[in-house]
Structure 1
Amino acid sequence: MNDIISKKKNSYLPVKTIAWAGLLVGSLDILAAIVNFKIATGKDPVLIFQYIASAVFGKEAYSGGSLMPILGLIFHFIIAYIFTIIFFIIYPKMKLYRYNAFLIGIAYGILIWIAMNVIVVPLSKIGKFSFKLSGVLLQASILIVMIGIPLSLICKRYYSKKAILSN
């Protein structure tokens, strides 16, 4: 049994698919962040994980030893899984599999950028982010390509198969 029954009868969350999808999009996203950061700054990508940890620990994350990058990586994957689970919950309810998976992926990537930069980051110990259009476009593009589109394609495939099997 790879599915968990939710409160509604005959409504399932595909645990195995979500587990693999979250791992995939979390890995793609962090890989893109590492490559972009290294090319743009030439600095050690460990700073990315310390930055993520600083959302909870503040400036302490940069001097907290080897534990902080590990916690940053864990936080990163928790967030990736949260967005994956949310997408798997809303996808069938909105009958999105009837629409273009790429457009849905683009919209979800933009939604993730908005949620992270307008809600999550400002409420964290990081605080406000600096708004630079080129940075916003790059960050949103990474989220679209590395999270939004892959999740949309995975959900479309999963729920399309499920619809065929239930007929």
Structure 2
Amino acid sequence: MRSKSNTILISGLLAGTLDILAAILIYSVILHKTTAEKILLSIASGVFKQHAYTSGAQMMVYGLLLHYFIALAFAYFYYKIYPHVPLLRKNIFLSGSVYGIFVWIVMNLIVLPAVFPKLPSKEFDLPLLISVLILIFCIGIPIAFITKKGYEL
């Protein structure tokens, strides 16, 4: 077995990198809905509220660090439950997809409403589907794959 900390670190950093790159590529470059800067500032605003939008580049760094902290937390949680949930060991793509949906639910139905009480209501539309797919392919599957490999080594 690879060391616990290495497995969590690698899976969390990879998932965090894939997730933020996907968000920037899709929402900023392809759809032109926002900018990379605003994405990072929005993440930072979870802690620093409106101050995040008036503090410049330092807040973008804080947003990126917070983003990686969250990704590492989800990697840690998956690693801890992996040996206790048989479904996670059966199929990487199935377990990664389920975990990506779980991450979406936690972030969008628990964390974000707790941090931002006045969020717009969610509708089942293309942006929602894109956000779920990003979490499946950029968070869930990479964490599932690396965790499985970590336990096998």
Q: 2:27 aligns with which of 17, 33, 37?
A: 37
Q: Which has the higher contact order (CA 8 A, sep 6+)?
A: 2
1:72 paired with 2:63, answer yes
CA positional deviation for 1:26: 0.5
TM-score, normalising length: structure 2: 0.90
* 8 Å Cα contact 1:54/1:126 also seen in 2: no
Cα distance, 1:72 vs structure 2? 0.4
Q: How many residues align?
A: 150
| 1:48 alignment partner in structure 2 | 39
SS at match of 1:30: helix
Q: Structure 1: state its 5+ residue gaps.
A: 4-13, 163-167
Q: Is the 8 A contact 1:18 1:88 kept in 2?
A: yes
Counterpart CA distance in 2 for 1:78 and 1:126 is 22
Offset at residue 123 of structure 1 (A)? 0.8
Aligned residue for 1:131, secondary structure, equals: coil
Shift of 1:96: 3.7
Q: How does 1:16-165 map to 2 (within 5 A)?
A: 16-38=6-28, 39-41=30-32, 43-96=34-87, 98-125=89-116, 127-133=118-124, 134-159=126-151, 161-162=152-153
| Structure 2, gaps ≥5 residues long | none
Aligned-pair Cα RMSD in Å: 1.7
Contact 1:104 1:152 in 2 (8 A): yes
> Offset at 1:98?
3.9
Determine what percentage of the aligned residue pairs are the same residue: 41
For 2:118 and 2:111, how far apart are their aligned partners in 1?
9
Q: TM-score, normalised by structure 1?
A: 0.83
Q: Which has the larger radius of gyration?
A: 1
**C-alpha separation in 1, matches of 2:85 and 2:58:** 41
Which residue identity lines up with residue 66 of structure 1 in the other structure?
Answer: A
> Aligned-pair distance for 1:67?
1.4
**How far apart, CA to CA, are the structure 1 residues paired with 2:9 and 2:117?**
28
Q: Which protein is richer in helix relative to its size?
A: 2
